[in-house]
Amino acid sequence: MKEYTRTGNGLDPARFALAHPVIIREILTSQKPPRHKRGQEFLCGPVPLPWLRRAATLRGKALAVGIALWFKAGVTKRAEVKATGTLWEKLGIHRKSAYRGLSALETAGLITVVRHAGRAPIVTILEVTSTPDR
């Protein structure tokens, strides 16, 4: 049987204390989404929602590959990026999954890809003119 410390009113306030009151307070008072810390990498925006919507309907890792491409485009400030193995590793995308994702995005008309044997493909992110309403 548990023993409880008694206070003047018969209750122990420690029994009702939150385990991590600082974390709980931050969750309850936060109005803005989390931001990156100094020195951390982040996804630059804005990324057009029609582009993301079309990529999200594709199979496999196509959306993850698309986000990786938008990340690289934000870093380089160019629509044309080199799709390197380092990029895929950074976001945990297997190399073969990345190639399938590139093919899916290319077929959907979201990117163009220039491939050369033994080198990383050069990808250009295209503008989406319209998407079918759902």
Q: Rounded distance, CA 67 to CA 79, Å?
A: 13
Decide: 91 and 67 in contact? Cβ < 8 Å.
yes
Residue ranges and CATH numbers for the domains of the chain are 49-125 (1.10.10.10)
Q: What Cα–Cα distance (Å) separates residue 19 from each residue in 2, 29, 71, 133?
A: 19, 17, 37, 48
pLDDT in tens, 4-59: 555 556 677 676 666 666 666 665 665 777 777 888 777 787 889 999 999 999 99
Q: Across the strands, what pairs with 115?
A: none
pLDDT for res 36? 76
Length of the chain, in residues: 134
Decide: 98 and 83 in contact? Cβ < 8 Å.
yes
pLDDT for res 21? 60
Please name the amino acid found at residue 6.
Answer: R
pLDDT for res 40? 75
Q: Is the pTM of this model over 0.85?
A: no
pLDDT in tens, 64-111: 999 999 999 999 999 999 999 999 998 999 999 999 999 999 999 999
Q: CA angle 105-42-28, nearest 5°?
A: 115
Q: Rounded distance, CA 79 to CA 52, Å?
A: 15
